[in-house]
Structures are given as C-alpha cells and as structure tokens.
C-alpha cells in the first residue's frame, strides 16, 4: 500500500517549457488535490477533484491545468512554465467527506529558470 505517489521528485525547467506532474493514490479515495507550497506561505490549493470526472479551481489556478484520468490518477500540467511557478507541489487525496483527513504525497520540487 504505497498511499499517494508523485513523479518526478525533482524537476528543473526553463521558462516557457511545459511539463506534467503525475499523482496516483491506491486508497480508493474519491477526492484528490494539488497544492503548491512556497516558503512562509503554507499550502495553497491549485485545483481539486471532488470525484472522478470532476475538477474545480482552487485558490491559485492560473497557469495550470489538471486531468482526473481515473479514480486513481490526477495530473497537473504547466503549459508554459514561469519563474513564479518555482515551488514545491504536493498532491493529496481523501475520502471526500468534510472530516476526512487528507493524505499527502512526498512532493515535487520544481525550479523554473
């Protein structure tokens, strides 16, 4: 039981390049989330998927797109990376009810030069 897995662990991009961050969970959770974490700013929600087939914007969606490929997988795409997107990206999943805890993946450390 791996929980939440993310690939890659580290990535360096040049401005304007695109990439997709992958996330998968094996806990049969309904809801999945993408967060970014910048120093001193806590976690900010980028996009979330309350259930398979649905996605919604979070606090900071600009410059990102997501795909809920199936119940297990939720990917985050940067179409044209910018230095302001340098951050640590965390994927999380939960059962989907208000009191369900969220389980986080190990994170992807992205640097855009």
Q: Identify the CA nearest to 93 among candidates 113, 66, 74, 67.
A: 74
12-51 footprint of other proteins as x/- string (CB under 8 A): -------------------x-x-x----xxxxxx--x-xx
110 binds other proteins (CB under 8 A): no
63-102 footprint of other proteins as x/- string (CB under 8 A): ---------------------------x---xxxxxxxxx
């Amino acid at each position: 039981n791996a929980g939440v897995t993310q690939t890659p662990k580290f990535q360096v991009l040049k401005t304007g390049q695109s990439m997709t961050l992958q996330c998968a969970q094996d806990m049969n959770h309904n809801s999945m989330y993408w967060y970014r974490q910048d120093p001193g700013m806590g976690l900010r929600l980028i996009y979330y998927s309350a259930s398979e087939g649905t996605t919604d914007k979070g606090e900071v969606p600009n410059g990102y797109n997501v795909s809920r490929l199936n119940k297990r997988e939720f990917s985050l795409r940067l179409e044209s990376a910018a230095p302001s997107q340098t951050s640590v990206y965390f994927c999380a999943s939960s059962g989907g009810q208000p009191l369900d805890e969220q389980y986080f993946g190990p994170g992807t450390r992205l640097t855009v030069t």
